[in-house]
Amino acid sequence: MFIIHVVPIARGIGKETLSYFSATEIALGSLVNVPVRTRQITGLVIKTEKADDLKAELKNSTFSVKKISGLKVLSLFLPEFIAAAQDTARYAAGSSGSVLASITPKVILEQADKLKINLPPVAKKPETDEDSQPHEPYVLQADEEERLAHYKSLIREQFARKKSVLFCLPTIQDTKRIFETLPKGIDEYTFVLNSAVSKKEVLELWTKISSIPHPVLIIATGSFLGIPRRDIGTIIIERENSSGYKSQNRPYVDIRTFAEFFAKRIGAKLILGDLLLRTETVWRSKNMEITELAPLKFRSLSTAETSIVDLKKYKTLDTPEFRILSDELQELISSNKTNNGNMFIFAARRGLSPITVCGDCGTTVLCNNCSAPIILHRAAGEQFFLCHRCGERRSAEERCRVCNSWKLTTLGIGIELIQDAIQGLFPDIKIFRIDKDSVKTHKQALSVADQFYNAPGSILLGTEMALTYLEKPVENSAIASIDSLFSIPDFRINEKIMNTLLRIRSFTQKTFLIQTRSKDQKLFQYAIKGNLMDFYREEIEERKRLSYPPFTTLIKLTIKGTRAKVAEEMTKLEEELIEYNPLVFPAFIETVNKKSVMHALIRVQHKQWVSENLLDKLQSLPPHIAVNVDPESLL
């Protein structure tokens, strides 16, 4: 008789491990079915003990140990993978089971019995120094072409050493792009996995990849790192700066953090690569915590001629309205048409206008449901207000809620307003658009991008969403509106804007134009010159002054509920965590679905997290308090 300790892989169990008995021993890393109250859930075996050793203990225990219901699959995960999930759970102040559930495809956990996994042999200890390789993280900051060259030679070198490579990317589109740019010839051993792959295929590939003796290249999004292979020599985290690596759901796992733990556990090389690495990652390399794979590039090259146009010059007494398209942008659109080029125009915000205010009393028009500022849109000739947070839609025919005035006016320029302006001036130019409102599916976006590239002289108008679909260079690009982003009170916003500008500049061949009402923003100068060094220097100074990462680890605690209840709970939480000086503040959008939202922020000095005392406190908080370590934003 054996006592089997399992990690419940399900949300909301609240316990780190559960214990069951079994007549036979079950290998560590196996998935089993176990009863929890009235339901059957999946559990991962992390420890087994002979029951004889425990007899006395069991007799005295007040609960009865239930029998395991059944075995789903033997050794689904490597022990090192489980250990890395446990490391991550500690780091994220969550449970190992919830981490495993968030980094493994659902179909693998639900239908694991359909997998045929042969337990991979235990890794051979390196016999000579040459066989072993350092497992510390490496960084690579360079233009895409140079990064790809590094990756290609790394993959060749790893294959020669009979090692596999895990190539991790933040989005489906990125995995496809990388697959297409990497050398052919190893196709047989290259696999692409992402959430667009069907369940059936995921099951087949999981079995296949884990059983091929030859080294493999796995190009995948974050939830496929668990495919059990003993020979992984390198893990690449490409586009390290992407917020796509951070989960939006509890326990808010960051794939980058997990990959670091995992690489360490399996003794693999970890490479963090991007055009512009996260500020904290650059800082860590400057402080020798991570190694440069090649000297970091702080100047990004581009063949494009760049310029910044001041939109303020158009605002005079005679023309009090802001211009949407500067003369320079109009000229560029027109010459792009004449020269049969392809042109991308970026707009930061969806809709006609991101903010509507009362012209008399200045009140911002808000969503009735969640109190986020409402966005003016138009469809079928009719104007309406749409909430981008909760999706509520209502007619735009209304008066100010405060002073009853009809004089509602819009501020800021959304993508639809830009489209109207271009169409008005250039009725014969074909305009394509990629944003959440115009494109509903991944397939549709691909098709729009394809049509755009095949229509010389045309324009693609897009938000951030469009960038993933711009896979080939374009002749000309322009930033039509981006200023509204600077007013977002978020510590990462400058980095996000810089990253967006650099990406657009990097795929532009001839002319790159930024029009703005705040020409003096130094960031624009850095972006058009590809000057990453001064950007970094300024950013890191600011982070230091305000005690943001990397100087501290941020932990954000969030409570939702009725106003009175949230206030009461927050007071309790503040007392509980008093020694950590929590900073309590309302969320940027204070109410969501008529519920009040409050945050408490704890700052832990660099390298002081994980601290046992604080971890204990966070893990014993009631489940309705959400804990987010390394939040992407404080809003």
Least distance from Zn ion to the Cβ atom of residue 590, Å: 12
Question: DSSP states of 36-101 as a string?
Answer: ETTEEEEEEEEEEEEGGGGHHHHHH-SSPPEEP-EEEES--S-HHHHHHHHHHHHHHTS-HHHHHH
Tell me if 78 contacts Zn ion by CB under 5 A. no
**Residues 422, 222: Cα–Cα separation, whole Å:** 40
Pairing status of strand 291-292 against strand 375-379? unpaired
DSSP code for 361: T
346 to 365: interface string for Zn ion, x by CB under 5 A: ------------x-xx-x--
Least distance from Zn ion to the Cβ atom of residue 559, Å: 20
With CB under 5 A as the rule, give the number of residues binding Zn ion.
16
Which one of residues 209, 268, 343, 400 is an interface residue with Zn ion (CB under 5 A)?
400
Q: What is the separation of C-alpha 153 from the centre of its chain, rounded to a whole number of angstroms? A: 27
Q: Are 135 and 261 in contact (CB under 8 A)?
A: no
Measuring CA to CA, which residue among 331, 333, 351, 352 is closest to residue 342?
Answer: 333
Half-sphere exposure of 448 (CA within 13 A, CB side): 26
310 to 349: interface string for Zn ion, x by CB under 5 A: ----------------------------------------
Give 27 or 403: the residue with its C-beta nearer to Zn ion. Answer: 403
Of residues 364 through 383, those in contact with Zn ion by CB under 5 A are 367, 369-370, 372
Measuring CA to CA, which residue among 33, 25, 9, 29 is closest to residue 77?
Answer: 29
Give 397 or 450: the residue with its C-beta nearer to Zn ion. Answer: 397
Give 324 or 358: the residue with its C-beta nearer to Zn ion. Answer: 358
DSSP code for 557: E
Burial of 617 (0-12, 13-18, 19+ CB in 10 A): middle
Least distance from Zn ion to the Cβ atom of residue 365, Å: 9
**Residues 383, 385: Cα–Cα separation, whole Å:** 7
Segment near Zn ion (CB under 5 A), from 64-72, 235-243, 392-400, 480-488?
Answer: 392-400
**Residues 425, 506: Cα–Cα separation, whole Å:** 28
Least distance from Zn ion to the Cβ atom of residue 353, Å: 17
Which one of residues 403, 425, 583, 635 is an interface residue with Zn ion (CB under 5 A)?
403
Nearest-10 crossing angle of helices 279-286, 532-545: 90
**Residues 373, 365: Cα–Cα separation, whole Å:** 6
Phi-psi region at 161: left, alpha or beta (left = phi > 0; alpha = psi -120 to 50)? alpha
Which one of residues 392, 471, 538, 569 is an interface residue with Zn ion (CB under 5 A)?
392
Least distance from Zn ion to the Cβ atom of residue 635, Å: 15
Give 217 or 408: the residue with its C-beta nearer to Zn ion. Answer: 408
Which one of residues 211, 334, 405, 581 is an interface residue with Zn ion (CB under 5 A)?
405
Q: Which two tokens stand for residue 41?
A: 């859930």
Give 371 or 511: the residue with its C-beta nearer to Zn ion. Answer: 371
Q: Which two tokens stand for residue 527?
A: 């972006």
Tell me if 402 contacts Zn ion by CB under 5 A. yes
Segment near Zn ion (CB under 5 A), from 160-168, 254-262, 402-410, 422-430?
Answer: 402-410
Least distance from Zn ion to the Cβ atom of residue 369, Å: 4
Give 106 or 436: the residue with its C-beta nearer to Zn ion. Answer: 436
Give 146 or 360: the residue with its C-beta nearer to Zn ion. Answer: 360
Least distance from Zn ion to the Cβ atom of residue 391, Å: 7
Measuring CA to CA, which residue among 209, 279, 197, 208 is closest to residue 240?
Answer: 279
Of residues 180 through 199, those in contact with Zn ion by CB under 5 A are none
**Residues 245, 239: Cα–Cα separation, whole Å:** 9
Of residues 148 through 177, those in contact with Zn ion by CB under 5 A are none
Least distance from Zn ion to the Cβ atom of residue 562, Å: 18
Least distance from Zn ion to the Cβ atom of residue 379, Å: 18
Tell me if 387 contacts Zn ion by CB under 5 A. yes
Least distance from Zn ion to the Cβ atom of residue 558, Å: 18
**Residues 210, 118: Cα–Cα separation, whole Å:** 8
Segment near Zn ion (CB under 5 A), from 271-279, 321-329, 385-393, 602-610?
Answer: 385-393
Q: Which two tokens stand for residue 137?
A: 């993280």
Segment near Zn ion (CB under 5 A), from 10-18, 167-175, 390-398, 612-620?
Answer: 390-398
Least distance from Zn ion to the Cβ atom of residue 633, Å: 18
Least distance from Zn ion to the Cβ atom of residue 409, Å: 11
Give 346 or 385: the residue with its C-beta nearer to Zn ion. Answer: 385
Give 330 or 363: the residue with its C-beta nearer to Zn ion. Answer: 363
Give 338 or 395: the residue with its C-beta nearer to Zn ion. Answer: 395
Pairing status of strand 66-67 against strand 70-73? unpaired
Least distance from Zn ion to the Cβ atom of residue 11, Å: 25
Least distance from Zn ion to the Cβ atom of residue 594, Å: 10
Give 70 or 362: the residue with its C-beta nearer to Zn ion. Answer: 362
Tell me if 393 contacts Zn ion by CB under 5 A. no
Rounded to 5 degrees, φ, ψ at 595 are: -105, 145
Of residues 84 through 103, those in contact with Zn ion by CB under 5 A are none
Segment near Zn ion (CB under 5 A), from 128-136, 388-396, 457-465, 471-479?
Answer: 388-396
Could you tell me where the DSSP H helices lie in 547-592? 563-576
Exposed e or buried b per residue across 593-614, where buried means at least 16 C-beta atoms within 10 angstroms of its C-beta: eeebbbbbbbbbeeeebeeeeb
Give 92 or 387: the residue with its C-beta nearer to Zn ion. Answer: 387
Give 192 or 386: the residue with its C-beta nearer to Zn ion. Answer: 386
Rounded to 5 degrees, φ, ψ at 57 are: -60, -45
Cis, bond preceding 251 (omega within 30 deg of 0): yes
| Contacts with Zn ion, residue ranges (CB under 5 A) | 358, 360-361, 363, 367, 369-370, 372, 387, 389-390, 392, 400, 402-403, 405
